[in-house]
């Protein structure tokens, strides 16, 4: 087994993208930087650092931020926004997740063989 690491991962770009999604979700929720920071129990400069992609964001912090914004943590990591919206709708809804899974499985079924 070889230790192959993806060579195209740019941590700064990922941090900036996740931070941008956090900021967009915060604004969409009608929250100021200070109000969300207060909910999280962190200084507003810490949250500003996350949003700007300048401060490292641990998974536990991402989960807490997502919960405070009533979002799925996974949706913060997904692009495009339409895919993130689907993940948010599936979060905690097993029946809907099973329905989507069934539809996706159906789409992948091979079609009938063409007639000569």
Judge whether residue 3 has pLDDT over 90: no
Could you tell me which residue, 80 or 57, shows the higher pLDDT?
57
The reported pTM is 0.74
| Residue 91 DSSP code | T
Instruction: Give the domain CATH number at 48.
Output: 1.10.260.40
Contact 69, 53 (CB under 8 A): no
How many distinct structural domains can be found in the chain?
1
In a domain, 4, yes or no: no
8: CB partners within 8 A, 6+ apart: none
Closest CA relative to residue 97, chosen from 76, 72, 77: 72
Q: Can you give the length of the chain in residues?
A: 116
User: Is 1 part of a structural domain of the chain?
Assistant: no
Residue partners of 10: CB distance under 8 A and separation at least 6: none
Q: Is the pLDDT of residue 6 over 80?
A: no
* Confidence class for position 31, pLDDT limits 50, 70, 90: very high
Give the domain extent around 47: 11-107
Percent of the chain with pLDDT over 90: 49
Mean pLDDT of 73-94: 85
Q: What's the pLDDT score for residue 112? A: 67
Q: Reduced to 3 states, what is the DSSP secondary structure of residue 112?
A: coil
């Amino acid at each position: 087994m070889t230790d192959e690491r993806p060579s195209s991962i740019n941590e700064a770009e990922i941090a900036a993208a996740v931070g941008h999604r956090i900021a967009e979700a915060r604004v969409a929720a009608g929250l100021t930087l200070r109000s969300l920071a207060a909910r999280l129990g962190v200084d507003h400069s810490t949250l500003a650092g996350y949003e700007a992609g300048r401060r490292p964001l641990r998974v536990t912090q991402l989960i807490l931020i997502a919960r405070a914004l009533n979002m799925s943590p996974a949706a913060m990591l997904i692009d495009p926004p339409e895919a993130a919206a689907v993940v948010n709708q599936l979060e905690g809804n097993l029946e809907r997740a099973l329905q989507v899974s069934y539809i996706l499985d159906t789409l992948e079924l091979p079609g009938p063989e063409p007639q000569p």
